[in-house]
Structure 1
């Protein structure tokens, strides 16, 4: 796969989804303010060509709509993401084929894996220009500061690449980096993430941890890095599966690490275990400023980049943001994988308005009492990122989980709080969640909003109200005859029902 960031920018421009800003714009606050307004309106991607204080242009909001995320993955319909998820699910938990057709299908998947293996580029574009000490100055990069109380400038869409010193297996993560000096940055990662795990192993062996940061890659590689996969699988392989062909990698100039050969920038450095500096406060995805935390320091000694490089960035905050659009796409990819691990789950949804992971809505094909509670408990342990899901709402399969009106109806009509709400207290939790009484520990709530069956209840449940099938068919056939053909029944004006939706509301 030879596509790079520039190919994607060309695609967006061809589809009139990219605006070039030629007037001077400050990466300190101004750039994020412009982008934030466009994100709320579902507006186009931006390329700032005249950045104050830096010679490099800045691309932002490339993944600001679900449509553009799908384009990045060579798809036009979000439902195609579930097909991809089915393929990934079979790779994560392969089962011996029982029929010839299953064997052929699995053979096709294995062929896709072979095609997805990365290749080595001996003359990588990312190393067309090499800068080392004493000429290295990270302040020349157009790092943004999104919010007034942010402690400093940040890097957000860099692929942070490390390697397990025992197994040699690399990890590719997306972590926030904060500028500390002309040659150092702190990295903010949770203790469960791959980079943090590699640092602990390096510390145990008394070694420094090598770190490469690749900035400005094709968004498809960003999607692969954001996908939760088993620790013994490679994000590079997943990127190849996403793109239908192996990506090109290059050996770093000074490190024993590989990076995407088409990257716009590559930073090379090391972390000395135990060396930390205060990181934050910084605006976070929860919609608040995060706290100040002592975080590992990366000492950079080499910067390479393409000729005329383009810097890619984004920022966190209350949805809608680019990270929320990425999460919506990943939600579709997770669905088949989750069904494979928890068979009773028909569908699940992580609403963007709930920060794309704080609340999950699950539909099940209920067959026995207590099944909703079992499904909720299984969900929390199915994938690592679900550990931090605070609320799980379980509904019947007939409920459209992407329609908030149906979900609220199910909760209101099927839940007795004394029976159907259960809480798990003092569980490991997201340190960025200020609602928790103790930082790092928090409770979880499960809500069983399914129809109750004995012995969950000792009285019969009422029959749901439905139309007469024959009358409904006749009305459909005569709709034009009634003179109502100009009314779009799929569009609901909420104000006519006495309430008003925020224009940025996107639960769908």
Structure 2
């Protein structure tokens, strides 16, 4: 049955050749993170750094670095979870395949945590301080050291207990900025996170919010902390289900409970009204999230088990280790989508675009079955439902197609999805904007914190056009624009100079470009034009195209069109759609490696070096 702690997991992975010990000294400031990212890109093993500069605790990285290893870690419980998920979808499965349900009742017993005394909890055996923890700094401009695999635990102040608890993975800054050393830690949680409900209740009651931060323990705890669970299901319950055992929680007088098998437990509380600057931090969109005021934890104690291991990850431009998290979560929950969102057959948050900037969906058109599928109808209702569902609501671009148009369409074949949509879309009709709304906290394309716009593109009906697959040599381009390239069938990328500082007005140069193409039309089959700083880079790969286009554009401000017009307050265009995906002056800076550290890591990885063969 599943691992009860991180030590059992490490031992098992090493026994199966899935973990490598690194016994040479490694600095947690920049070096450990760069090594982990390199090994992840190479599809390498989990890494145990045994000699960490400035800390007595070993560090474990790349634990979930491949989907295969993640499946291996939870191999004992995946069948039970699959059974329970299918029961949720089809209660009659019990009658059709009763043999598959034999393990389900036992698995369900693991949903309920159990309480143990403090003297039965290895996690409470020893004490330390924040400054003695590994000071992980992932990127050169990070504002300090961060916990990157934290499990932040809180309970509803009005209804204490695990039943209304929340376990979320919200980054925690343990040094730098204005934080008092060893006494304060920044708590960065984004919009639409469960802890926000508890925080609001604490403000309402005028009391401090108790918060614990766990690191390590059963690997199922880390996965549970990032699971998009339905409201009312505590993450601790899912951790027990995935881990194959009830999660043992120990009581600490005057504090929230802590997992008995955790490696580290930071115990404290937050003033419901106080904030301090947090960040910057190199984040998973491939840019820094900047410094902003966030709540902070007043640290009362830092506990650890005697054999504690510090787990960590680093994030950056996808794909990274959190990509494996996302793929694993989709495997566990993807079949539930039709039950949660009627009519929706599948959704795909595109990792290469930073997850929230681009969401693909396949729905069904059932409004007028007597008339066939000729245009989006029910798809629009379904799109609204998607944008009202949990973290799917953070999507900035939602592209939705009708299943009836191609029942074999695979939502994970992104190139095929774009081809399908661009063959059918009518830009005069199929663009639906939300112009002043909330977007992902980490997305700065809107020019404000947590603010920007959204665009739904709903395409249904018969094929309207053939897409251009080879670029002719005579693309009409006016002065100031250069290097046209084809990123995908029907998608032209054009290079333009850096945009002028944004003043809230449309870019006159792009408007002039659209007017030019009204007079000298682009070749048939070009449906979408992306303006980029570097057209060769943007068009070099599908991942580059997705990252540039959807992380660097704000729909309401950066979308133009050839033959644009507004009718009954509905904007559209008769010619190609144009997206300005150049970097803007207010955008967050992209992540870049430290060249000196890069050189040292290359030396360690050379023949005979301690990292040789890892990447």
Normalising by the residue count of structure 2, what TM-score does the alignment of the two structures yield?
0.67
Tell me, what secondary structure is at the counterpart of 1:419?
coil
Match for residue 166 of structure 1 among 149, 158, 177: 158
2:583 corresponds to which residue? none
Q: 1:437 corresponds to which residue?
A: 447
The Cα offsets for residues 289-345 of structure 1, whole Å up to 9 and x where unpaired, read as 112111212121222211121111112211122222111222233322221022322
Which runs of structure 2 are paired with 1:84-99 in the superposition (5 Å)? 85-87=85-87, 89=88
- The alignment status of 1:362 with 2:368, answered yes or no, reads no
**Equivalent residue, structure 1, for 2:605:** none
Q: Say whether 1:16 aligns with 2:17.
A: yes
1:373 corresponds to which residue? Answer: 380
2:245 matches 1:245 = yes
Give the alignment's Cα RMSD to 1 decimal: 3.1
Matches within 5 A, 1:192-203: 192-203=192-203
User: Which stretch of structure 1 is more off in the superposition, 214-223 or 341-350?
Assistant: 341-350
Gaps of 5+ in 2: 368-372, 467-538, 548-615
In the superposition, relative to structure 1, how do residues 506 and 84 fare at CA in structure 2: closer, same or farther (>3 Å)? farther
Q: Any conservation in 2 of the 1:117–1:245 contact (CA below 8 Å)?
A: no
The alignment status of 1:124 with 2:120, answered yes or no, reads: yes
Alignment deviations for residues 265-292 of structure 1 (CA, whole Å, 9 cap, x no partner) = 1111121222221111111112111121
Task: Give yes or no for contact 1:117–1:247 (8 Å, CA) kept in 2.
Answer: yes
Flag the 1:98–1:219 CA change in 2: closer, same or farther, 3 A.
closer
Residue 71 of structure 1 deviates from its aligned partner by 2.2
1:506, distance to aligned residue in structure 2 (A): 12
Q: Which residue of 2 aligns with 1:176?
A: 171
Indicate how the Cα distance of structure 1 residues 129 and 436 shifts in structure 2: closer, same or farther if over 3 A, else same. same
Contact map agreement 2:123 2:259 (CA 8 A) in 1: no
Shift of residue 358, structure 1, vs aligned partner: 2.5
Following TM superposition, by how much is the alpha carbon of 1:347 offset from its aligned partner in structure 2, in angstroms? 2.2
Aligned to 2:296: 297
Q: Deviations over 1:414-449 (max 9, x none)?
A: 222222232222122223211113432222222224
SS of 1:387 mapped into structure 2? helix
2:134 pairs with 1:142? yes
Would you say the 8 A contact 1:361–1:401 is kept in 2? Answer: yes
Q: SS in structure 2 opposite 1:186?
A: strand
Deviates more, 1:440-449 or 1:28-37: 440-449
TM-score when normalising by structure 1: 0.81
Structure 1 alignment gaps of length 5 or more:
453-459, 464-498
Q: Are the equivalent residues in 2 in contact too, given 1:72–1:220 (CA < 8 A)?
A: no
Q: How does 1:211-222 map to 2 (within 5 A)?
A: 211-222=211-222
* Cα deviation, residue 26, structure 1: 0.3
- CA deviation profile, 1:40-62 (whole Å, cap 9, x unmatched): 22222111000000001000111
Deviation of 1:192 after TM superposition, in Å, equals 3.1
When residues 223 and 82 of structure 1 are mapped into structure 2, their CA distance, relative to the original with a 3 A threshold, is same
Q: Which residue in 2 is equivalent to 1:30?
A: 31
Task: Identify the residue that residue 338 of structure 2 maps to in structure 1.
Answer: 339
Is 1:399 aligned with 2:414? no
Shift in Å at residue 98 of structure 1?
7.8
Once residues 107 and 25 of structure 1 are traced to their aligned partners in structure 2, the CA distance between those partners, rounded to angstroms, is: 48
Q: Is 1:101 the counterpart of 2:102 in the alignment?
A: no
Q: Distance in 1 between matches of 2:4 and 2:458?
A: 46
1:427 matches 2:437? yes
* Structure 1 residues 441-500: Cα deviation after superposition (integer angstroms, max 9, x where no partner): 222222224334xxxxxxx9799xxxxxxxxxxxxxxxxxxxxxxxxxxxxxxxxxxx86
Aligned twin of 2:43: 42
- Conserved? CA contact 1:224–1:235, under 8 Å: yes
